[in-house]
Structure 1
Amino acid sequence: MKATFITFLLVFTGGFAFAQSYYFKMSYGFGGGINKSFTDVNKGGIGYTAYGVLDYHFTPFLTLGLEGQYGMIKGGNIRTDPNNRQFVNKYTAITANVKLMLGEVVNYDKSEFLYKIRGLYLGLGIGAINNNITDIVRYKPLWAANPGYGPFLGEDKTLELLVPLNLGFNYYINDGYGYMRYVININSQLNYTIGEGLDGYDDSRQRFKNFSPDVYSAYTIGFKYMLGGVKNYSKTL
């Protein structure tokens, strides 16, 4: 009887450990936060970003996904900017992103610290941003130095290439069956645009010293839910 009980216990324990090595192949999520612009105006402003994401998991710690963003990017100030310029961009964007987590490249089974930070990741993507300038100063106001100067060149609506760089952390929460099911995500994203549409200004580089790409950073917090079929993974999750 004692031998039978021990055998049953070992089988049960082994089966549970094996179940812990399964993961879901898909996840979707949403979130939001703030952004800051770095463009041709003297000083960037703080705007907002909302996003939705759908990921495919090659492993629990290597993903390829689509991310859609909507938000407002702004910068400059008609009174304090040296050229009296300011803008507001109500943008939308879509990108494909690869993300590699620490858990894929380290043996976290023997380190409690590494296990806790296994969701730390880097990511790289490519996509497009649709710029929609809803408010912009094209001519200097009458009270400014050189009143009436303009127009400041540029377009109000543009579609441009977008390259996001991601640094973030996934905090995993198991469901009642022991599977990684829920994720709290914290992400910092630096977005490079290929063009001059983010702020709506495209003036001569000789006058405005415009030698760097338009960039905006986004700092977000979000939630993800894992779903779909399951796959086996070589490490205990």
Structure 2
Amino acid sequence: MYYNFLKVKSLTTFLLFVTFFCNAQSNYFKWSYGFGAGVNYSRTDVVHGNWGYTFSGNIDHHFTPFVTLGLEAQYGMVQGGDIVTDPHNRQFVNKYNGINANLKIALGEFIDYKSTSFLYKIRGLYGGIGLGAIKNKITDIVRYKPSWAANDPGYGPFPGKDKSVDLWAPINLGINFYFNDKWGSIRYALNLNAQSNFTFGEGLDGYDDSSSKFKNYAPDTYNVYSIGFRYYLGYTKIYKRTL
């Protein structure tokens, strides 16, 4: 009788342990892809930046639900300056495209997001960095000052290339808001992202002037503010915690 009691107690303990262990895990999809669109603002060798647009597509491999390595492709228009208001009468329009490899890590990897509803909602907050190449195509640029310029009318040409390829380093800060499918797995996400893009070269604005005459000390950059959609797919893997 005592032996049977021990067997029942041991079996109950084992089942409780298995139940707890299973409930403390979740399946997640190992791949996702997404699309995004937004506006960008340039900071280059011209005095004032301007607004443009950016479209993006990406595919990511998920080492965990919160750690990804992926590829991002971008297409858009970056512009800056103004032939009338710029002190040197410079302006440019760049129809660019580029690709980068990037690593992102989300807050959910480090915190007990089940402890409060607020932490659970922001578990998709992430930061990331990447490296790639950007192809610049200048479609409109002032190479010579106009005849009505206040200083040095007709000066030029401003040196630089209309087509070039530069090294590109994006830094990301964003958040994913997750949505489950009918089986309770995370299948979709709404993405908000802010991205600072550093280019190492003089192709983004098409100007490559001497720093002795013009301020030209920092990398040409543009910041992108976008909204996007993500879809999760592929094989599933077990994560150590519930999602």
Secondary structure of 1:103's counterpart equals helix
The answer (yes or no) to whether the contact 1:20–1:179 under 8 Å persists in 2 is: no
Match of residue 59 from structure 1: 64
Q: Is 1:88 aligned to residue 86 of structure 2?
A: no
Match of residue 3 from structure 2: none
Q: Is 1:101 aligned to residue 106 of structure 2?
A: yes
Match of residue 144 from structure 1: 149
Which residues of 2 match residues 22-41 of structure 1 at below 5 A? 22-41=27-46
Distance 1:22 1:209 in 2: 53
By how many angstroms is 1:86 displaced? 0.1
Which residues of 2 match residues 197-216 of structure 1 at below 5 A? 197-216=203-222
Secondary structure of 2:213's counterpart equals helix
Secondary structure of 1:140's counterpart equals coil
Letter in 2 for 1:72: M
Q: Deviations over 1:14-58 (max 9, x none)?
A: 49x649600000000001000000000010010000000000000
Match of residue 118 from structure 1: 123
The answer (yes or no) to whether the contact 1:20–1:178 under 8 Å persists in 2 is: no
Runs of 4+ in 1 over 3 A off after TM superposition: 17-20
2:187 to 155, 173, 181: 181
2:172 to 166, 178, 186: 166
Percent identity for Structure 1 against Structure 2:
62
Which residues of 2 match residues 5-16 of structure 1 at below 5 A? 14=19
Distance 2:137 2:176 in 1: 32
Secondary structure of 2:38's counterpart equals strand
Distance 1:206 1:173 in 2: 54
Distance 2:75 2:60 in 1: 18
The answer (yes or no) to whether the contact 1:21–1:234 under 8 Å persists in 2 is: yes
By how many angstroms is 1:109 displaced? 2.0
The answer (yes or no) to whether the contact 2:25–2:238 under 8 Å persists in 1 is: no
The answer (yes or no) to whether the contact 1:160–1:195 under 8 Å persists in 2 is: yes
Give the alignment's TM-score, normalised by structure 1.
Answer: 0.92
Letter in 2 for 1:136: I
Q: Deviations over 1:115-170 (max 9, x none)?
A: 11100000000000000000000000111122110000000001010000000000
Give the alignment's TM-score, normalised by structure 2.
Answer: 0.90
Distance 2:179 2:61 in 1: 18
Secondary structure of 1:209's counterpart equals coil
